[in-house]
Chains A and B, each alone.
Chain A
């Protein structure tokens, strides 16, 4: 019996360090493919002893792509530990900043990271299958994409003073009010951002029509779905209770993030530094679920802004009202969320409290323990801290968005490898599809291992004797 191992390392156009190993059997077919996350930093340990108010500054360094999500989750955990409710103005400013985060992260992913596969093709020359290739192929669209990301980053800058790693939210509120000039500045870019998003939505719908056969065989599988919802089960990205539904969309749980330890647990596999969360009642691995844009649209009954709701109705029909379980529809759901976030920015900019000066509540009632939750671009983010009465942290537990999707990404890698990778002459385009399965989830591996992000990929083909017969590094 011969077997071979193909290694893809690093996986590119994702955040962080990963590699894929594809184990081939003697017929030249895929036996099993693994998704290895190869990094660990240890924030949960080295934040022990830090002060609760430092966490909104330390934890954004988990991830430079979604620093605002960590910044706000840390501040929200701080609110609960200190027993203090932020004033309404502070809450809407935090949400506004977070919408900027969603727009920049999702916008960048769709156009600049996933876009080369969708616009140039999975089999395009790897030397140009990137954002520079997009500039050559469609400069007008690429400039629009750059401007969309800039619009999102600029919201973060206007609200919090820095585009990356802002210093803004604190337990009890925020440290800076918004001025009329800044509000008007944000408003001046919103029409074009919305237009670009609508162009993107049309692009992905046309792509889906043309590639429906691929979509239907590309990592389609059942899981549960998990994320925040509004009190009426609408799409929610900033605050709320968590809803968990099964593969058919039936609600299994509806709970406060403060109780997450009763509902989910994390499993460890020897071959990855990324843990695998699952629903405790169903156990490992039956209780796996997905998060992020696809997960959130699958748990929502509606979207509370008109243009995004129109798209949601189309999305909802893909699987006749049941959850959409196709990995490649992550791209569509991601853009629907951008549309929602832009509409939400417009609503927030009209809020009467927006420019208020009451931004910090100092009436503390120390509780000592708290869970901060937010829907980061990639899914539900949980920061759980335990503090001593002087505010110094004793313990820290983090469950980060990409982690919830770990089982799904592993399954997607295995499934796509089995569908598309055929020996003995393995083509680069086959392997790029395996990477595209990971890319669809837009993983952030730095985040998810709260480790330092190492997510490049190398592909080893291993034979039945465990010998590496081919290593593909796409160079």
Chain B
């Protein structure tokens, strides 16, 4: 039997959940025995396989149009979608922006910041994504498994991935919800 394929990406987060995944340390050798790591931020495939992956993992919430596209594509191409970490599960610290709105935040950073020269402007090239309200993943796509934590403990991530790789849905409760 071929190994289950796993893809991941980061959206409106800080990469800390992926760092916590790397904090499984030597257990990465066990992990690559269990799963086939496909498109992730630390591998060179650019998007999840068109013919699908078993597990899709997303870190971070949704704060712009590019995040939305990535989240929807991952949802379409994976069987089980995992919201990894507080930003994906709840919106997290970046959702504090919703108290001010994207426009006021952009103005502060690109026009009003004390260090800007007098040619400040809000970047608006069509190459760039448009900012939106910051949302938890579940507001945009259906999520199958939630793993909260800022970041979730490496042990919990390893447990969850091992279970998923063996065709079981992990039970994230009790001490697995108590991140340190």
Query: In the complex, A92 Cα to B162 Cα: how many Å?
Result: 40
Residues of A within 8 A of B63 (CB): 40-41, 452
Closest 9 CB pairs of A and B: A64-B16, A42-B105, A452-B12, A45-B105, A130-B43, A473-B46, A126-B44, A46-B96, A271-B125
The answer to the question of A453 belonging to the interface, with a C-beta cut-off of 8 Å to chain B, is yes
Hey, what's the 0/1 contact readout for B9-30 against A, CB within 8 Å counting as 1?
1111111111110110110110
The answer to the question of A397 belonging to the interface, with a C-beta cut-off of 8 Å to chain B, is yes
Which residues of B21-66 are within 8 A (CB) of A?
22-23, 25-26, 28-29, 32, 37, 39, 41-47, 49-50, 60-61, 63-64, 66
The answer to the question of A25 belonging to the interface, with a C-beta cut-off of 8 Å to chain B, is no
**Smallest CB separation, A71 vs chain B (Å):** 12
Name 7 interchain pairs, CB-CB below 8 A, sorted by A. Answer: A38-B66, A46-B99, A131-B43, A147-B25, A275-B109, A432-B44, A475-B50
Query: In the complex, A271 Cα to B125 Cα: how many Å?
Result: 5
The answer to the question of A230 belonging to the interface, with a C-beta cut-off of 8 Å to chain B, is no
Per the CB 8 Å criterion, the residue count for chain B at the interface is 71
Q: Give chain A's interface residues, CB within 8 Å of chain B.
A: 9-10, 12-17, 19, 21, 34, 36, 38-42, 44-48, 58, 60-65, 67, 108, 112-113, 116, 126-127, 129-132, 135, 139, 143, 146-147, 149-150, 153, 161-165, 260-261, 264-273, 275, 277, 284, 384, 395, 397, 399, 432, 444, 446, 450, 452-458, 473-475
Contact across chains for A64 and B94 when beta carbons are under 8 A apart:
no
Q: Whose C-beta in chain A lies nearest to the C-beta of B10? A: A453
Hey, what's the 0/1 contact readout for B96-138 against A, CB within 8 Å counting as 1?
1101101011101110011111011101110111010000000
Contact across chains for B105 and A454 when beta carbons are under 8 A apart:
no
Given A42-B105, A126-B44, A266-B115, do A452 and B26 touch, yes or no (CB 8 Å)? no
Number of interchain pairs (Cβ within 8 Å):
239
Given A164-B19, A165-B16, do A39 and B129 touch, yes or no (CB 8 Å)? yes
**Smallest CB separation, A155 vs chain B (Å):** 13
Residues of A within 8 A of B87 (CB): 452
Residues of A within 8 A of B15 (CB): 15-16, 63-65, 444, 446, 453
**Smallest CB separation, B82 vs chain A (Å):** 17
Contact of B180 (CB < 8 Å), options: A150, A162, A271, A457 = A162
**Smallest CB separation, A373 vs chain B (Å):** 14
Contact across chains for B128 and A475 when beta carbons are under 8 A apart:
no
Hey, what's the 0/1 contact readout for B129-161 against A, CB within 8 Å counting as 1?
101000000000000000000110010000000
Residues of A within 8 A of B66 (CB): 17, 38-39, 454
Residues of A within 8 A of B19 (CB): 64-65, 163-164
